[in-house]
Amino acid sequence: MPACQCHSACSKAPVNPRFRRALWVALAINAAMFAVEITGGVKSGSVSLFADAVDFAGDAANYGISLTVLSLGLIWRARAALVKGLTMGAFGVFVLGRAAWGAMQGIPPEPLVMGGIGLLALLANGLVAILLYTFRDGDANMRSVWLCSRNDAIGNVAVMAAAAGVFGTGAGWPDLVVASIMAGLALSAGIAVVRQARRELEVTAGVVPQA
């Protein structure tokens, strides 16, 4: 099988137990925060909060994929990272569409609910980011996990800023601006992960020499 010319590409990889534990904690936190934020997004009418909730759901799924392929060879971890990168990009496109729909509605969200849930989400994602920081320079699979946690923490700060903007102006545009920024982060991170995953797949297939 061409993809298995390199033994390390297909054989099982040693698993860092600290990384596995960090992924389980991250999965649990993201699943719980999805439920909190989707409820808060519906109640407040916030596009950025709703977008962050969908991001939490996507991240929980991504952490689950990472746990599934964690002990597999590089080729499987790279394939999983490729799927996650494409998912991150799709999320960015979805948020842009949701922001456009919110702009047409023209109804400002409830800022106090936005701010409170945004703070709770920031604390949750800050913990996840700290747990995963050590593994940010690993393979594409590890890097995608770190980028998810980094983007989430940035997004939570942005949601809180949007809540302050909505509170101060009485308008919905700060919420829409933040949602668009979050979409841009998801798109850029998705592109970065896809590029690294493709390079790793090329290495395992013998298309390019391993660095």
DSSP string, 161-184: HHHHHHHHHSSSHHHHHHHHHHHH
pTM, to two decimals: 0.63
Buried b (16+ CB within 10 A) or exposed e, 189-205: bbebbbebbbebbebbe
Structure tokens at 116: 């409170």
Q: Model confidence over 95-131: pLDDT tens digits?
A: 777 777 767 766 777 788 888 888 998 899 888 888 8
**Closest of 93, 91, 66, 162 to residue 122, by C-alpha:** 162
Structure tokens at 179: 């949602």
More confident position, 11 or 160: 160
The percentage of residues in the chain with a pLDDT greater than 90, rounded to a whole number, is 3
Structure tokens at 171: 């308008």
